Amino acid sequence: MKFPCRLDKFVSHLAQIPRSKAKAEIKQKQITVNGEVATAFDHPINQTDVVLLCDEPLEYLGKRYFMLNKPVGYVCANADELHPTVFDLLDEPNMKDFHVAGRLDIDTTGLVLITNDGEWSHKITSPKHNKFKTYLVETQEPLTEQALDQLRHGVQLHNEKELTRPAIAEALASYSLRLSISEGKYHQVKRMLAAVNNKVIELHREKIANIELDSQLASGEYRQLTQSESKL
């Protein structure tokens, strides 16, 4: 939200009500700004102003950053008609402008970042910033050294003109590896394994850039990022 802004827009945004409802509250003199009853829809609001709706404060909380341990069965969207979304797992005020920074498929688990800071999100997700995302991968077939070497040097994805960027691939067992990539192509990890004649059975994201999934978070739990984590 940019300041200064109109009172009706501020109330609509923070109370998460339609603009028409916000205007009705103003008309009914239910809103005060810095202790004074406000009657103008376009009354300018600054970030330091104290705004009350029916004597309850409407506070702009600024930029916020959360990590979530995503379970299977949830989609990374603000709303979905068929499936629960990651936002159904959050109990936070004023989530209207929040989005997922780096989506995961419905059957993929692990670290999801949620924020209302678009610039920060772009730094996380844009390939030009070269932020690695690290996954634990369980495969259908045993991993060969040849396949790992191909992943490290780049593979040809179906319907893509260029090879993937070099990845960091570390074998953990015969059927599992830790894979770090700096791109975010559609279903990239699954397609990369398909390119080396294998198949992903389970996929779990454990890290994005310097942000590692908190081991204390159970599936479906979340917490706010620390100040050091949110610095890129």
pLDDT of residue 232: 75
Give the residue extent of every domain in the chain. 5-58, 65-224
Measured in residues, the chain has a length of: 232
Indicate the fold that domain 65-224 takes in CATH: Pseudouridine synthase (3.30.2350)
pLDDT at residue number 20: 93
Catalytic hit among 91, 105, 117, 149: 105
For position 148, what pLDDT does the model report? Answer: 98
Which of the two residues, 65 and 3, has the higher pLDDT score? 65
Distance CA 45, CA 2 (A): 10
Task: Enter the CATH code of domain 5-58.
Answer: 3.10.290.10
Using CA atoms, how far residue 91 sits from 13, 85, 115, 224, in Å, is 17, 13, 14, 12
pLDDT over 80 at 112, yes or no: yes
How would residue 60 be classed by pLDDT, with cut points 50, 70 and 90? confident
pTM of this prediction?
Answer: 0.82
8 in active site: no
- Coil, helix or strand for 229? helix
Domains 5-58 and 65-224 share a fold: no
* 79-94: b (≥16 Cβ within 10 Å) or e: eeeeeeebbebeeeeb
What pLDDT, on the 0 to 100 scale, is given for residue 178? 98
